[in-house]
Homo-oligomer: A and B are copies of this chain.
Amino acid sequence: MSQTYRQQALSIKARLFRGFADPSRLAVLEALRNGPRSVGEIVEATGLSQSNTSNHLSCLHDCGLVSRMQQGRYVYYTLADARVAELLSIADTLLADVARGVYECTRYMLPQEGHDAHD
């Protein structure tokens, strides 16, 4: 039964990481790296649809990764915590070393994406 708590903790932690684990959400977070942006600005910066952007923002907000602040009819979002940016930075550093490995992590990818070049 303490096992259940452990599993719940893992689920919560996994969900935190899942905030970072999608290219679109990552694009949103990157767009916020230089300060607050309105939804419209994020839409433009990321090229995502308005609806999709808003959905991801809601999720990121519920997860506590971004914070919201309304100004007139605009809504501005920001990274909620310095550690969010820190996680992004460490990932960048780590990626510099393991990018090739990640690129080849095709276990769950469809064949049509075509990762056949091995160097």
Binding site for B on A (CB under 8 A): 3, 7, 10-23, 25-27, 30, 47, 55, 58-59, 62-65, 80-81, 83-84, 86-87, 90-95, 97-108
Q: Across the interface, do A107 and B55 meet the contact criterion of CB distance under 8 Å?
A: yes
Q: Judging by beta carbons under 8 Å apart, are A15 and B90 in contact? A: no
For A11, what are the chain B residues with a Cβ–Cβ distance below 8 Å? 23
Give Cα A40–Cα B15 distance, bound, in whole angstroms. Answer: 26
How many copies of this chain are found per oligomer? 2
**Is there an interface contact between A90 and B98, defined as CB atoms closer than 8 Å?**
no
Out of B59, B64, B90, B99, which one reaches A87, CB within 8 Å? B90
Chain B residues in 8 Å Cβ range of A80: 98
A10 contact from B13, B26, B59, B105, Cβ within 8 A: B26
Instruction: Flag if B59 contacts A108 (CB, 8 Å).
Output: yes
> Which residues of B have CB within 8 Å of A12?
95, 99, 102-103
A59 with B91, Cβ < 8 A, contacts A14-B21, A26-B10 known: no
A21 and B10 form a contact (CB under 8 A): no
| B3, B23, B83, B86: the one within 8 Å of A47 (CB) | B3
